[in-house]
Structure 1
Amino acid sequence: MTTLTTGAGRPVITAWSAVSPYGIGRAAFSEGLRDRRMTVTDVGPEHGTLPGGAGHVVPGFSVREVLGKKGTRSMDRVTGLAVAAAGALLDDSPRNREVGTGEGAAFALGTTTGSAQSMMDFTRDSLTGEQPFFVDPARFPNTVMNCAAGQSAIWFDLKGPNATIAGGRTAGLHALNYSRRLLGSGRARTVLCGAAEEFSQARAWLEHHSGEQPADGTPAAPALGEGCAMLLVEPHTPDDADQPVLAEVLAVELGVVLDGDPGPALVSCLRAALRRAGVAPAEVAAVARSGAPGREGLREADAVREVFGAVDHADLTPTALIGDTGAAAAAFQAAALLSYAEDRPAEAAGRIGVITSVDRTGTVGCALLGLR
């Protein structure tokens, strides 16, 4: 397990944005959550034949229409989502562009596999073409897991460390933990930290065949969602009056499940995070769970009740509204907490926001954010 020690210079979140089923940008995401608006819709034929006809997709998202024609001919969907989210954050204020790009500006992106659709399409072309090498070489970079992060760095002149971290639903927490390590070691000046997931035919069929069938009393899995949420993370500089601190990263705890039950592992993470951050459960204002489908999600909810059941807190779990966003889930949970703090400062300021995450691969994690 890992944790962030307190003290001067600890990481803070100074900006955020999202490309979500609510649309592009922070305002669209905040408004959608505020209105508790459902985003599930019938998915069009452009996504191919699917095991189900519904999904939570970014409305009208086309890579070339959003980002322009230059440099996007062979860009796949997950890369487009990541680039669009990073651009929305950097364009939100002149300061974001100034501190978030150039020398010392790092990029940390959480994922599951990158683009499963790109991998399968490229492999299929090599098998069905007249010759195995009759493929489009411009599309080969999309088959590499770190394509989205690399393209984002090129697009926005991010010259610091560039990392892609695979972790399923916990990927956003892994990226946040990696970001605080980069800052703490002096390897980066700022970090664009986020996670991305695309809606695709390949992902839909993989989830259909990989997920557990709902058992008695287990709610059906939500329809798949997609998007990318991005945070600007930098060291806390108390002397900088212009630094717009939205939240302090008080702790990030990650763990593994050894006995098949994620509940005790998540409880252990939560209690360790509270202890090492020096805060009590009563200080928690809101909790955003990953809302994983099946048994993992139920045990996640049980763990939250065990630790915070006696605390009156807001439940900001966004899964029912924007779908199962896979690797992007934890990043969207962070965005939900930050949106809540902006909308309700009287309830959130000076208190704690909690992110929890579980994944069927056996990883669990949590993060504590000190809301401003």
Structure 2
Amino acid sequence: MSTPTTVAGRPVITAWSAVSSYGIGRAAFAEGLRERRGTVAGLGPEHGETPDGTGCVVPGFDIRTVLGKKGTRSMDRVTGLTVTAVGALLEEGDRNRAVGTGEGAAFALGTTTGSAQSMMDFTRDSLTGEQPFFVDPARFPNTVMNCAAGQSAIWYQLKGPNATIAGGRTAGLHALNYSRRLLASGRARTVLCGAAEEFSPARAWLERRSGNEGEDAAEPLGEGCAMLLVEPRDPDDPAQPVLAELLAVELGVVLDGDVRPALVSCLRSALRRAGVDADRVTAVARSGAPGPEGRAEAEAVAEVLGAAGHADLTPTGLIGDTGAAAAAFQAAALLSYAADRPGDAPGRVGVITSVDRTGTVGCALLGLR
């Protein structure tokens, strides 16, 4: 094995794509956000029995139709969404495929548990079958949380480090921080970084049963996958399509049950680490978590950044509660916003914040181009 080479400087985002309730691809997501179009809709019988029969799902998404019949017979929904999002990014241009695949191309995916539906279905089959071992072995890989990342690596020949990071709504930030560390240590040449979540009856009922009675109603559940292509800044390559610079990622935990001070600490630390004043922040995308965590998140942002002066790009009200994929979609929202305003003053900064009921908080600062 070759000796790792440490990479100096901050990493940059050079491409992105998404599979969301707006459809497949970056253009569909950007257009939906631009129009501020809501996506909640009634669900058909193919989505199973859910508590309220509504959600924000990828329209008409059928794995075998989108990816073909080869290798997809036993593929579950979260894996299909992830493989599709990776493909949408890599197929946008020759450069993306050239730098984003092969040796040194790493993959970092954020999740909650992988597919809760696959886990429950497989367990149910083992309990209700004539014998516990009368199960479909081809579906067993779907029960482990790194199935989507592994399948994506096989599908597109991603031969660098491959990691799945569980973290609920903050999972995308954990994946982004892991990507930064891979590049800084020279363990990867580029990183496909993102997060995924599927809509399923199992997830819908788990969310319903784990909610706090009497708290604010949560947004309808959403699903999808957003992917970023992260690589070292190359000052010798004027053609490198830099969309944003990763200025800082800060993560924390809530030890006393109070989310607000934990997130305030993360935000101030990130601003200090990046050398950025709060008045340079032009856009903020919050996770929009339900209940007291979401209210504390909004209060923390107002305390550190002020209540006005920046665009609120929180996508939850449009594409639903996307769970583990939330932070990745927040990053996509910031990149879409910046692309629509190329003439804005230089030095603008976008902020992602995230909180989760499990006690994790985090934020990221992006230098938008």
Is the shorter-chain TM-score for this pair beyond 0.5, marking a shared fold? yes
Pairs within 5 Å for 1:1-372? 8-215=8-215, 219-309=216-306, 312-347=309-344, 349-372=346-369
- Partners of 1:43 and 1:68 lie apart in 2 by 24
- Partners of 1:123 and 1:8 lie apart in 2 by 47
- Partners of 2:213 and 2:106 lie apart in 1 by 40
Preserved contact between residue 244 and residue 368 of structure 2 (Cα < 8 Å): yes
**Alignment TM-score, normalising by the size of structure 2:** 0.97
- Partners of 2:368 and 2:8 lie apart in 1 by 17
**Deviations, residues 150-209 of structure 1 (Å, cap 9, x unaligned):** 000000000000000000000000000000000000000000000000000000000000
- Partners of 1:47 and 1:15 lie apart in 2 by 32
- Partners of 1:231 and 1:214 lie apart in 2 by 37
Counterpart of 2:344 in 1: which secondary structure? helix
Counterpart of 1:108 in 2: which secondary structure? strand
Distance 1:116 1:310, change over 3 A: closer
- Partners of 1:172 and 1:227 lie apart in 2 by 13
Preserved contact between residue 348 and residue 371 of structure 1 (Cα < 8 Å): no
**Deviations, residues 275-298 of structure 1 (Å, cap 9, x unaligned):** 010000000010000000111000
- Partners of 1:338 and 1:93 lie apart in 2 by 18
- Cα deviation for residue 220 of structure 1 reads 1.4
- Partners of 2:37 and 2:346 lie apart in 1 by 25
Preserved contact between residue 354 and residue 366 of structure 1 (Cα < 8 Å): yes
Preserved contact between residue 214 and residue 221 of structure 1 (Cα < 8 Å): no
Report the residue type matching 1:303 in the other structure.
A
Q: CA RMSD in A?
A: 1.0
Report the residue type matching 2:256 in the other structure.
D
- Cα deviation for residue 8 of structure 1 reads 4.7
**Deviations, residues 68-94 of structure 1 (Å, cap 9, x unaligned):** 000000000000000000000000110
- Cα deviation for residue 361 of structure 1 reads 0.1
- Cα deviation for residue 251 of structure 1 reads 0.1
- Cα deviation for residue 99 of structure 1 reads 0.1
- Partners of 2:56 and 2:106 lie apart in 1 by 30
Report the residue type matching 1:68 in the other structure.
G
- Cα deviation for residue 242 of structure 1 reads 1.6
Counterpart of 2:38 in 1: which secondary structure? coil
- Cα deviation for residue 344 of structure 1 reads 1.2
- Partners of 2:89 and 2:345 lie apart in 1 by 23
Report the residue type matching 1:352 in the other structure.
V
Distance 1:49 1:310, change over 3 A: closer
Report the residue type matching 1:143 in the other structure.
T
- Cα deviation for residue 350 of structure 1 reads 2.3
Count of residue pairs the alignment pairs up: 363
- Partners of 1:279 and 1:63 lie apart in 2 by 43
- Partners of 1:317 and 1:172 lie apart in 2 by 15
**Alignment TM-score, normalising by the size of structure 1:** 0.96
- Cα deviation for residue 9 of structure 1 reads 3.2
- Partners of 1:127 and 1:83 lie apart in 2 by 31
Counterpart of 1:19 in 2: which secondary structure? strand
- Partners of 1:11 and 1:255 lie apart in 2 by 21
- Partners of 2:90 and 2:249 lie apart in 1 by 25
Counterpart of 2:226 in 1: which secondary structure? strand
Give unpaired runs (5+ residues) of structure 2.
1-6
Report the residue type matching 1:114 in the other structure.
G
- Cα deviation for residue 264 of structure 1 reads 0.4
Preserved contact between residue 115 and residue 143 of structure 2 (Cα < 8 Å): yes
- Partners of 1:89 and 1:213 lie apart in 2 by 40
Report the residue type matching 1:296 in the other structure.
E
- Partners of 1:82 and 1:292 lie apart in 2 by 23
- Cα deviation for residue 348 of structure 1 reads 6.3
Preserved contact between residue 198 and residue 223 of structure 2 (Cα < 8 Å): yes
Give unpaired runs (5+ residues) of structure 1.
1-6
**Deviations, residues 214-258 of structure 1 (Å, cap 9, x unaligned):** 43xxx3100000000000000001111121000000000000000
For structure 1, which segment, 344-353 or 252-261, has the greater mean C-alpha deviation from structure 2 after superposition? Answer: 344-353
**Deviations, residues 130-167 of structure 1 (Å, cap 9, x unaligned):** 00000000000000010000000000000000000000
Preserved contact between residue 8 and residue 184 of structure 2 (Cα < 8 Å): no
